[in-house]
Structure 1
């Protein structure tokens, strides 16, 4: 025999080398895999479903605080008092504590029975055991039960998936559990548990008791921890079934507590809101109170969605890549008839996914029909809600609507066989599809998780290569799962994003058109009021000053011409986006100007009445002041000329500092009235910044910024403190920084202030939006500097000028 043969012969006589698993491993598994009480209860509910039960009853009994009960047990264990005194103390403490909670008759009877047992018990350990059973969670079903011969090989073997490999002949073909770890859910809920199961073939039930604390040791193996088993007689409400009762609870439960709210939220979202599912009733009661309600997603909420996307993927029906493999429909949710189904062939889908194997370093995975079929069939439904628009639409109902959206929205939930996988589709799923990260990296944050209510519906049998993560928070990364994600992003999310952007653009266009069309009548009315006020002044001034009033009329003639020009431009506009955008910008400024005109003419007229022809000097001073203010208004209107449709394409070289100072000069009277100082600086000092562009867009941006600052500075708490507006022109950077010492902008509003209709003061809220839109149209950029002041507020706007012609 050679040496090699001798080694083989010797080694074959040694026992096989195997892993040994410490008992505490099961504790670690439970903590890592079952991450919350609602997930734990969900695992037990799914066991009932898999057993073929049509109903599952969850009874939560917490007549006293679980934390308080744990402290009482600790005190009992540490007490040196006489045992009879200890029992009396326990009974009195429970009687006192139960007063604080409202409980039904069944719960009251349960507590009374436990107190009677404590009074009759003979050892401290017995008293503690009974105390731990005062609070419990029980899950009962009328399913097939577990046969005695299956307890060890199936139920007590962690990691088995017996239901998938050996389905019950007369049972359902849908099974929710496939990892054999659901039984660890008991450990999450409490330190002890008792499982009682019975079948129609036996007159008695089989019972297994667990004390998970016995496993919390590194000195013993899992198989070294004995479990208490019994054959018991029970009152059977069904021919077969299972009862799981968990004691020594880790959490406290009340009817209006956080745990109950979390469980209600989870169960409400447990079933897919888009497809009919197998009848399965879940009944939950806390302390024998009213059954917890689980209302479905209401049709009223569905109808509020802005868009509804449906996608059905059916590659198994295709014989080649030329055949259709999916149907996509995208429509406005309010219009059930809108949206034409779009078919995509396997080849079209393959082209969309062509980069996925490279992206995930799986270039060896062929992208053929078999690869698509390996993903398996699925359905996708997405409702998207624009919360800003919705808030305005529902008005006083917004708090209730928001509450429902917060519950149901959060991304794409995965529903396997009609049941949600863990926390998918919520902020707790780790953004498994990458919706938010894609949105942030993309061209617009228009489709993100907070806006989306979605359901991806798959099955165990149809999507066997799409495997849930063990913690139920997504899918294990496999070639099929990676292709699924890419398919959803490319075939569903990308078209939805483009659709939303197109719809938003149309909405903005309508809003701008409305703003323009509604504005002309108001401008004409205000101009008429101003003329009436000026004409009325003629009767209230000495004859020597009537020439001054006439000069006012001449200045008003210019304003009249500008208003007429604006009205003509509206009529002649071809309603292109640039026309409407710039007309809306001009109109917005003109509304501010006309408001200022009517205010100042009316105020002058009132002051003239008070003088009553008594003081020519003072009257002349008032008229001069009014003329100065109207001239300033004319200066401001002149700056809008380049934005009129007939002149908008004319670019010329302009001096930025000179134009800026002209705009500021138009506000001198407003500054004086509101105790505001203004400073214009250039960096480097003395440098000249010339740019070739349409000057009107710069005028419009500065107009809105100055007007906005003037308002907020006029509202400051201490009017004695002078307001300050600082405009810094950076020649090398080609930027204008606009800063004031007003209240500033909250960091959370840094983007919202540029949204159409957003305003924190009285007004339409279009000024900054129009300034930014016109700036971008002319290759500029307007934004808030993200650098905050010491109080956390933002006070500097940056206007980037075009760098090229």
Structure 2
């Protein structure tokens, strides 16, 4: 048996295979070359498309101003496929985390054209070569190709130019290779390639160190045969909608799954962010590992027409005109940028973050529960992971994502759990603000229970269907209507009793809502009485034994204060007594100014503590209203409680509530306003709907109770638009 020593010889087509089979598309090829410019410590890169019509040639040229390469680096590293140079170095000379660790990205250029020209400057010399892919195809093995690598001494600045030539292409060919849609896709690819500086800053503030080094990308078109891009320069800017989100959750997850997060709802910008701490446990089946330290920033954009309007109003403008964009343009922008990207260092790992890749299966889950679950097209997200050694997350050689190992499934699990935290809070807000529609008021429901007209109409319709003659229908209709009218009269007392019972419960509900105020107000009186009475007993015993003028003076002083605090308690209970009644009293005449003063009195301690100034101005000499006292106090105590809540979240110390009483065409009216954050959004007509609330922990009862009480009084209450706080108009239409 004979044996010989042989060598493995790579086929000449291996370079084409890297470009066409591994890198797969033109966008990825350009992205790989842009990453190489970053690895070279360049502050920027220019991607230039040039069409030379007389030569029928398309040039794609990438220019950087990095450290360049010398002859040795070009021959022994750049020309070596799969070199481990960057894998070993890990960081550039200036400390950037190197992106091209596989050593094949530069050969992606072969997908863009037939010839690759390299020209690189370093230390006073230019090294250049031409790699002709068509010539390479005529060879069997890679080492059969002889390359002319030239070196020329000069004083050019450092940097590298890679130019890819594609010959024999007409203008029509270019338009079919690079369509308008494909160029827009390239813009989006480059725009989403590097994480926005704002997100990086947010991560740094949370203690998650993401290296961020300024790196500008420009796209230049020269004589390009497509009108929109004919002769145009585009600076790649970050996401135009990034700050215009509806909801956002962001924060860190450590190596043991401990999440420290922050939730924001931009529909209520005056509220502070909600802190969330969460322990994310992995499944029991041992199919996941924690993926190291992770930083997550997820932003949600609702897609219903009202939400699109709000996104536009937050500042979505056309950069060229400065004008607000229309709804269709806003939807197009969202369609171009949605997706949850995974970033390693400063760069996105493809294809995560692309519209066509729903790696979290959001749309599949949303089918089961569309009102609760978020869709893929509602999210713009950033998930930052560490290097392979620290995270266990490895990139595939084909540049098509991460290896789906235990660490990868752990990452998917962590991000999904955090999205669920956001979904719960978003659903709660949308439910409270009646994004899905409104309910009938309790008064409407009661009225419908005792309205028999619809029954009469249905009976008449049924008789008509049976071909009963008009005369017979009229006779039957009279009998039915008389019976229904009689029944309605009998039920009138029951209807009144139901309404009165509900009114009593609503008054008691108002009392329950302000329990914290009552405790706060009453505690100071009770504390003083509790501490002082034993002292008075002691001093009285001492005074009975001997005549002590100082002791008698103390007794007199403390007795007066006890009387004052006892009166304070008595006054407090008098103010709230109408809300605690178990039987509804008949309507009486009340002075509206006195009712307002009593209502503010319930909150006096809290108003003082928060430095809230309240004023009541009456332009009516005798503002008399005929109503039930419980209803009046229900209206104003709920308005004041609402103002106190929002003024508490106002950053400035100037906090005011102002009520003006006046007659408008002989109709008694109160304009009630505060200088808090005011109403967010366009939902003023829903303000008095049961369950509607803009407070994160709100019940949606307060203003609904006020609205129901005004209906019983025979008036109405409306929320009005204002640039300075909340404004309510309370109109009394009864006998006043």
The bucket for the TM-score relative to the shorter chain is 0.5 to 0.7
Aligned to 1:398: 327
The yes-or-no answer on 1:557 pairing with 2:490 is no
Asked if the contact 1:311/1:492 (under 8 Å) is kept, the reply is no
Name the CA distance, whole Å, in 2 between partners of 1:518 and 1:443: 30
Alpha-carbon deviation of 1:545? 12
The yes-or-no answer on 1:243 pairing with 2:170 is no
Match of 1:206 among 105, 108, 127: 127
Task: Report the secondary structure of 1:198's partner residue.
Answer: strand
1:479-558 aligned at under 5 Å gives the runs: 479-489=406-416, 491-508=417-434, 511-513=437-439, 553-554=481-482, 557=485
Q: Are residues 519 and 36 of structure 1, via their aligned partners in 2, closer, same or farther at CA, if it must alter by over 3 Å?
A: farther
Match of 1:417 among 338, 345, 350: 345
Q: Are residues 387 and 555 of structure 1, via their aligned partners in 2, closer, same or farther at CA, if it must alter by over 3 Å?
A: farther
Alpha-carbon deviation of 1:456? 0.6
Q: Cα deviation per residue 1:728-759 (whole Å; 9 max; x = unaligned)?
A: xxxxxxxxxxxxxxxxxxxxxxxxxxxxxxxx
Match of 1:460 among 387, 412, 422: 387
Q: Cα deviation per residue 1:456-482 (whole Å; 9 max; x = unaligned)?
A: 112437745322233433211233222
The yes-or-no answer on 1:142 pairing with 2:65 is yes
Q: RMSD across aligned C-alpha pairs, in angstroms? A: 4.4
Match of 1:446 among 373, 376, 387: 373
What stretches of structure 1 of length at least 5 have no aligned partner? 1-6, 65-93, 95-130, 316-320, 361-370, 535-542, 577-805
TM-score (norm 2): 0.53
TM-score (norm 1): 0.49
Task: Report the secondary structure of 1:483's partner residue.
Answer: helix
Asked if the contact 1:414/1:458 (under 8 Å) is kept, the reply is yes
Task: Report the secondary structure of 1:341's partner residue.
Answer: strand
Asked if the contact 1:43/1:182 (under 8 Å) is kept, the reply is yes
**What is the aligned length?**
453
Asked if the contact 2:336/2:355 (under 8 Å) is kept, the reply is no
What stretches of structure 2 of length at least 5 have no aligned partner? 202-211, 224-230, 313-324, 461-470, 506-736
Aligned to 2:336: 407
Name the CA distance, whole Å, in 1 between partners of 2:73 and 2:490: 91
Asked if the contact 2:385/2:391 (under 8 Å) is kept, the reply is no
Match of 2:259 among 326, 351, 357: 326
Q: Are residues 56 and 509 of structure 1, via their aligned partners in 2, closer, same or farther at CA, if it must alter by over 3 Å?
A: closer
1:254-265 aligned at under 5 Å gives the runs: 257-265=180-188
Asked if the contact 1:310/1:330 (under 8 Å) is kept, the reply is yes
Asked if the contact 1:422/1:471 (under 8 Å) is kept, the reply is no
Alpha-carbon deviation of 1:385? 2.5
Aligned to 1:364: none
Aligned to 1:278: 213
Q: Are residues 518 and 55 of structure 1, via their aligned partners in 2, closer, same or farther at CA, if it must alter by over 3 Å?
A: farther
Match of 2:80 among 157, 165, 179: 157
The yes-or-no answer on 1:343 pairing with 2:259 is no
Name the CA distance, whole Å, in 2 between partners of 1:187 and 1:561: 90
Name the CA distance, whole Å, in 1 between partners of 2:368 and 2:115: 48
1:280-679 aligned at under 5 Å gives the runs: 280-287=215-222, 289-298=231-240, 302-305=243-246, 307-315=247-255, 325-335=258-268, 337-344=271-278, 348-349=279-280, 352-355=281-284, 357=286, 359=287, 372=290, 375-388=291-304, 390=306, 393-394=309-310, 397-410=326-339, 412-429=340-357, 431-440=358-367, 446-460=373-387, 463=390, 465-489=392-416, 491-508=417-434, 511-513=437-439, 553-554=481-482, 557=485
1:144-223 aligned at under 5 Å gives the runs: 144-166=67-89, 170-199=93-122, 201-202=123-124, 204-216=125-137, 220-223=140-143
Asked if the contact 1:253/1:260 (under 8 Å) is kept, the reply is no
Name the CA distance, whole Å, in 1 between partners of 2:66 and 2:442: 67
Q: Are residues 335 and 185 of structure 1, via their aligned partners in 2, closer, same or farther at CA, if it must alter by over 3 Å?
A: farther
Alpha-carbon deviation of 1:573? 7.1
Aligned to 2:146: 226
Alpha-carbon deviation of 1:443? 9.1
Name the CA distance, whole Å, in 2 between partners of 1:549 and 1:207: 102
Name the CA distance, whole Å, in 2 between partners of 1:146 and 1:567: 92
Name the CA distance, whole Å, in 1 between partners of 2:108 and 2:49: 15
Q: Cα deviation per residue 1:203-225 (whole Å; 9 max; x = unaligned)?
A: x31111111123336x6112222
Q: Are residues 547 and 462 of structure 1, via their aligned partners in 2, closer, same or farther at CA, if it must alter by over 3 Å?
A: same
Alpha-carbon deviation of 1:409? 1.0
Asked if the contact 1:376/1:462 (under 8 Å) is kept, the reply is no
Name the CA distance, whole Å, in 2 between partners of 1:403 and 1:227: 47
Q: Cα deviation per residue 1:481-533 (whole Å; 9 max; x = unaligned)?
A: 222222222x31333343344444434598433677778899999979x99xx
Name the CA distance, whole Å, in 2 between partners of 1:557 and 1:508: 37
Asked if the contact 2:245/2:300 (under 8 Å) is kept, the reply is no
Alpha-carbon deviation of 1:326? 2.7
Q: Are residues 329 and 553 of structure 1, via their aligned partners in 2, closer, same or farther at CA, if it must alter by over 3 Å?
A: same
